[in-house]
């Protein structure tokens, strides 16, 4: 019966904008949710592959009884015994739900009488499940921000459907009033509206979701091929679409359609049948106050400006979501492009330019130490190599006494800026980290000659400098002496238990580190770096330990700007070391080229996402343009009936589109400029340096495309509106 009551011939005309909006929203929502789910899935798979899937680890001396007790501990869903060291057993644990790990694992360690230093949380994986680390609540910040973006986009898409239904349903209030007048009750009207909305929108929604999933699959395949060309060894990007993602996005669309169809019935319940039957489109202007924009248009463009302001005010709600989407997409695109340019500039300044004289070819040799490395002379004989440095890293701590602190550091605030992690207060001073850089004997002698010290293999060279934290920013802080440098001995303590210590001679206190691609005093401002020879390390290694399992090799070449020479040396290095060790070789020029390709890929991915947001805004504008004829046909008829020429009508439409299209872009330009200045301030970058890499042309092109699309959509609707005559426009909607 409802097909007869709701007039089959009228349904398509009234609901066409809503059906189009439902199709576009379903398409973009399916695509957006699919893309973000696959990005999240890829990140989780990467962490699992590189680090494991466990939620926490615990190590100790466990027998079968303890292992069984751990397995049965509350909250533990799975355990796996891994490889430990000596008599120590390493147990990997999974919890359900994962959020219990931060509460239950410390309790488990306490029951087993094991110190908290033997407990490890898999924070990187847990943060992907939005499980925050109690000691570092910001660990889930990146994931929360990542989820916030699609959430805002989903809200925008839902508003597109809602506003399209609002435009479509507004034309049915009078019709519903007639039905109410002949005895239809509210529940019947609501049922008719739901059935009609479902009949009109279910097929477009299903088609949109299917097309969105296909588009997501195509984008993921293309992205995987693109990244595989940049990074052949990276993990493949496999497409997936979880049923819960489908259920969430589809449910969101259907609930929005149901609520949007319910609103006219709710509105009708507040009106008498006579009021509903007398409903006219010109009532939407009643009670509206004149805004400043309307005053401006009236002052400069006369009657056409006043009518344009009236139209903008009346249709502003319908186009508001599109305007917001256009603003958000342009603002995010500008910020992403500027942010990527700033990131690229920062990396160039703090990495490539800073270390360009410190290395040409680097190799990381896994599971190796200086004591058993036998390929040093073969590396030095490679043609074109001018210097070879082989080094290993270790961790220790040392004590800084109050009387040892330099006058310059005392004037800059002393240890007052140090956190407890950087400098732990103890009796008579502070315990600070003492990173050890262990050089091969030949490189250590060469380094000592460089700083003017007689090479004593049994002495340590201490890097005696620290940033003046009271001045400037991290890019421009001056370096000042850390300690007075009067001591001829230094005490190194085991970094873990701090039970063992060793005293060694100090060969020199210096401000000049060796030419290595290493950072000192940045992550930890108060660390006191020691450079040791391999001979000295062999004497003290048993006492303090803490050496990393990897070995590093740095080569300097005679032809420092030749990519061919660096590639040849890298290949020869792999031939020398590849048969005996597991290595990873990189060269400076290739590293910079890969960085540039990665930045281009990042810009393409993020720019594509911003373009997707722009398409959402354009889709909203087009959806509203489809309802343009229905919502303003009587308004046009009124203007034409009083003798207004078509040229004047086009002037009105031109002023409207100028305001509706340019306003969000102008606001986006203003706020993106402000945001860029804030980022420059936070990143301590100079605007003159940034100006040389600012992507103004790309941003302008993106804004021009958005502007052209909006103008085309608006004038398409206006042209369709102008085709009708006065008699047709004034004909009763019912």
Domains in the chain: boundaries: 1-52+122-279, 53-121, 281-357+589-734, 368-580
Tokens of 172: 């049915």
Say whether pLDDT at 458 is over 70: yes
Check pLDDT > 60 for residue 294: no
Highest mean pLDDT among 50-59, 172-181, 236-245, 392-401 belongs to 392-401
Q: Which residue has the higher pLDDT, 171 or 449?
A: 449
Q: Is residue 448 scored above 50 in pLDDT?
A: yes
Q: Is residue 407's pLDDT more than 60?
A: yes
Residue 33 has pLDDT above 70, yes or no: yes
**Pick from 292-301, 494-503, 561-570: least confident:** 292-301
Tell how far CA 157 is from the center of its chain: 21
Taking only the tens place, the pLDDT of each residue in 252-290 is: 878 777 777 676 556 655 555 555 555 544 444 444 445
- Report H helices in 434-556: 441-450, 534-544
- Rounded to the nearest integer, the mean pLDDT of the chain is 79
Nearest alpha carbon to residue 236 among 41, 2, 18:
41
3-state secondary structure of 684: coil
Do the Cβ atoms of 656 and 649 come closer than 8 Å? no
Give the residue with greater pLDDT, 16 vs 608: 608
CA angle (334, 336, 340) in 5-degree steps: 120
The least confident of 138-142, 401-405, 431-435, 695-699 is 138-142
Per-residue pLDDT band at 365 (split at 50, 70, 90): very high
pLDDT for position 271: 59
Question: What order do you get walking across the sheet with 436-439 strand by strand?
Answer: 423-426, 429-433, 396-401, 489-494, 501-510, 460-463, 530-533, 436-439, 385-394, 547-557, 361-366, 582-587
pLDDT top residue among 314 and 39: 39
359 φψ region: left (φ > 0), alpha (ψ -120 to 50), beta (else):
beta
Distance of CA 504 to the CA centre of its chain: 47
Question: 364: pLDDT confidence band, cut at 50, 70 and 90?
Answer: very high
Q: How many residues does the chain have?
A: 734
Quote the pLDDT of residue 506: 95
Give the pLDDT mean for 169-190: 62
Q: pLDDT for 534-593, tens place per residue?
A: 999 999 988 888 788 889 999 999 999 899 999 999 999 999 998 888 899 999 998 888
pLDDT grade, residue 245 (50/70/90)? confident
Residue 7: the pLDDT is: 43
Within 8 A by CB and 6+ apart from 410, the residues are none
What average pLDDT does this structure show over 393-416? 93
Give me the pLDDT at residue 732, please: 45
Q: How far apart are CA 568 and CA 484, in angstroms?
A: 46
Fold of 53-121: Alpha-Beta Plaits (3.30.70)
Q: Residue 660: count other Cβ atoms within 10 Å of its Cβ.
A: 23
Whole-number pLDDT of residue 2: 44
User: What would the 3-class secondary structure string for 86-110 be?
Assistant: CCCEEEEEEECCHHHHHHHHHHHHH
- What pLDDT is attached to residue 146? 65
Query: Which pLDDT score, from 0 to 100, does residue 624 have?
Result: 63
Q: What is the mean pLDDT of residues 655-659?
A: 78
Average pLDDT on 646-662 reads 79
Tens digit of pLDDT for each residue in 184-227?
Answer: 666 676 667 677 767 777 888 888 888 988 988 888 888 888 77
Asked if pLDDT for residue 516 goes beyond 50, the answer is yes
pLDDT band at 431 (very low <50, low <70, confident <90, very high): very high
Per-residue pLDDT at 509 exceeds 80: yes
- Position 728 pLDDT exceeds 60: no
Measured between alpha carbons, how far is 214 from 31 in angstroms, rounded to an integer?
A: 8
- How far apart CA 103 and CA 119 sit, in angstroms, is 12
- pLDDT for 615 equals 74
Nearest CA to 568 out of 590, 596, 593 is that of 590
Q: Convert the pLDDT of each residue in 473-490 to its tens digit.
A: 777 889 999 999 989 999
pLDDT at 539: 92
587 φ/ψ angles, rounded to the nearest 5 degrees = -125, 160
The rounded percent of the chain whose pLDDT value lies above 70 is 76
Which residue(s) pair with 494 in the sheet?
396
Q: What is the pLDDT of residue 282?
A: 46
3 state DSSP class of 165? helix
DSSP bridge partners of 505:
489
Please report which helix (H) or strand (E) contains residue 493, including its range: strand 489-494
Q: Which residue has the higher pLDDT, 437 or 660?
A: 437
pLDDT at 99 over 60: yes
What pLDDT is attached to residue 4?
44
620: pLDDT strictly greater than 70: no
Cβ-based burial of 185 (10 A; exposed 0-12, middle 13-18, buried ≥19): exposed
The pLDDT value recorded for residue 727 is: 53
For residues 453 and 682, which has the higher predicted lDDT (pLDDT)?
A: 453
Q: How high is the pLDDT of residue 3?
A: 46
**Residue 166 CB partners (closer than 8 Å, separation 6+):** 260, 263, 317, 318
DSSP assignment of 45-68, as one string? HHHHHHH-S-SEEEEE---HHHHH
- The answer, yes or no, to whether residue 102 has pLDDT greater than 90, is no
- For residue 420, the model assigns a pLDDT of 80
Position with higher pLDDT, 169 vs 412: 412
> Above 50 in pLDDT, residue 6?
no
pLDDT band at 382 (very low <50, low <70, confident <90, very high): very high
Output the furthest CA–CA distance in the chain (Å, rounded): 108
Give the pLDDT confidence score for residue 23 in this predicted structure.
81
Q: Which residues sit opposite 119 in a β-bridge?
A: 58
Q: What is the mean pLDDT of residues 302-311?
A: 71
Q: Using DSSP, state whether 405 is helix, strand or coil.
A: strand
Question: How would residue 8 be classed by pLDDT, with cut points 50, 70 and 90?
Answer: very low
As a whole number, mean pLDDT of residues 431-444 equals 94
In which band, very low, low, confident or very high, does the pLDDT at 318 lie, cut at 50, 70 and 90? low
pLDDT at residue 628 is higher than 80 = no
For the ranges 317-331, 534-548, 641-655, which has the lowest average pLDDT?
317-331
Range in 2-16, 125-139, 260-274, 343-357 with the lowest mean pLDDT: 2-16
pLDDT at position 670 over 90: yes
Average pLDDT score over residue span 681-689: 85
């Amino acid at each position: 019966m409802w097909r007869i009551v709701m007039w089959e011939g009228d349904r398509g005309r009234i609901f066409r904008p809503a059906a189009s909006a439902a199709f576009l929203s379903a398409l973009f929502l399916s695509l957006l949710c699919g893309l973000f789910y696959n990005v999240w899935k890829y990140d989780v798979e990467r962490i699992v592959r590189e680090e494991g899937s466990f939620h926490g680890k615990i190590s100790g001396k466990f027998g079968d009884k303890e292992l069984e007790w751990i397995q049965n501990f509350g909250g533990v869903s799975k355990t796996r015994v891994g490889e430990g060291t000596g008599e120590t057993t390493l147990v990997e644990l999974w919890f359900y739900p994962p959020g219990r790990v931060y509460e239950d694992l410390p309790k488990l360690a306490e029951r087993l009488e094991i110190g908290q230093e033997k407990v490890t949380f898999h924070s990187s994986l847990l943060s992907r499940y939005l499980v925050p680390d109690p000691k570092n609540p910001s660990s889930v910040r990146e994931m929360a921000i990542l989820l916030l973006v699609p959430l805002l986009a989903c809200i925008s898409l839902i508003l597109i459907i809602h506003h399209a239904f609002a435009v479509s349903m507004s034309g049915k209030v009078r019709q519903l009033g007639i039905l109410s007048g002949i005895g239809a009750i509210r529940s019947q009207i609501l049922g008719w509206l739901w059935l009609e909305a479902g009949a009109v929108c279910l097929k477009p929604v299903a088609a949109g979701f299917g097309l969105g999933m296909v588009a997501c699959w195509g984008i993921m395949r293309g992205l995987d091929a693109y990244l595989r060309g940049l990074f052949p060894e990276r993990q493949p990007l496999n497409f997936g679409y979880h049923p819960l993602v489908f259920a969430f996005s589809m449910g969101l669309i259907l609930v929005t359609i149901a609520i949007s169809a319910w609103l006219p019935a709710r509105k009708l319940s507040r009106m008498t049948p006579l009021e509903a039957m007398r409903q006219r489109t010109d009532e939407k202007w009643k009670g509206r106050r004149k805004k400043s924009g309307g005053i401006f248009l009236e002052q400069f463009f006369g009657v056409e400006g006043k009518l344009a302001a009236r139209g903008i005010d009346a249709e502003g709600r319908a186009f508001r979501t599109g305007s917001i989407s256009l603003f958000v997409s342009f603002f995010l695109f500008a910020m992403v492009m500027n942010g990527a340019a700033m990131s690229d500039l920062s990396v160039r300044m703090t990495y490539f330019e800073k270390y360009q004289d410190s290395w040409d070819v680097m190799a990381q040799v896994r599971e190796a130490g200086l004591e058993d490395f036998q390929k040093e002379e073969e590396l030095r004989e490679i043609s074109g190599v001018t210097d070879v440095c082989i080094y290993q890293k270790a961790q220790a701590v040392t004590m800084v006494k109050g009387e040892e602190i330099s006058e310059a550091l005392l004037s800059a605030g002393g240890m007052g800026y140090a956190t407890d992690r950087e400098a732990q207060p103890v009796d008579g001073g502070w315990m600070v980290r003492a990173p050890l850089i262990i050089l091969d004997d030949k490189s250590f002698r060469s380094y000592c000659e460089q700083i003017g010290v007689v090479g004593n293999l049994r002495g340590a060279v201490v890097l005696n400098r620290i940033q003046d934290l009271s001045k400037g920013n991290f890019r421009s802080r001056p370096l000042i002496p850390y300690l007075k440098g009067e001591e001829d001995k230094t005490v190194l303590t085991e970094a873990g238990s701090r039970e063992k210590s060793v005293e060694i001679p100090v060969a020199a206190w210096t401000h000049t580190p060796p030419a290595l691609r290493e950072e000192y005093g940045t992550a930890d401002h108060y660390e006191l770096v020691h450079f040791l020879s391999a001979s000295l390390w062999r004497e003290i290694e048993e006492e303090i330990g803490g050496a990393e399992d990897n070995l590093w090799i740095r080569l300097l070449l005679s032809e420092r700007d030749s990519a061919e020479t660096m590639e040849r040396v890298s290949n020869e290095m792999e031939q020398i070391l590849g048969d005996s060790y597991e290595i990873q070789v990189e060269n400076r020029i290739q590293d910079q080229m890969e960085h540039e390709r990665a930045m281009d890929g990042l810009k393409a991915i993020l720019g594509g996402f911003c373009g997707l947001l722009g398409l959402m805004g354009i889709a909203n504008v087009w959806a509203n343009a489809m309802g343009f004829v229905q919502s303003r046909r009587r308004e046009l008829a009124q203007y034409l009936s009083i003798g207004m020429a078509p040229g004047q009508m086009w002037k009105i439409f031109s002023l409207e589109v100028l305001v509706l299209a340019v306003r969000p872009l102008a606001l986006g330009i203003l706020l993106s400029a402000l945001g860029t200045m804030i980022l420059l301030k936070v990143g301590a970058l100079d605007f003159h340096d940034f100006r040389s890499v600012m992507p103004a042309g790309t941003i302008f092109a993106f804004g021009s495309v958005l502007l052209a699309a909006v103008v085309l959509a608006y004038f398409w609707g206006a042209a369709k509106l102008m085709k009708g005559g006065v008699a047709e426009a004034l004909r009763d909607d019912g």
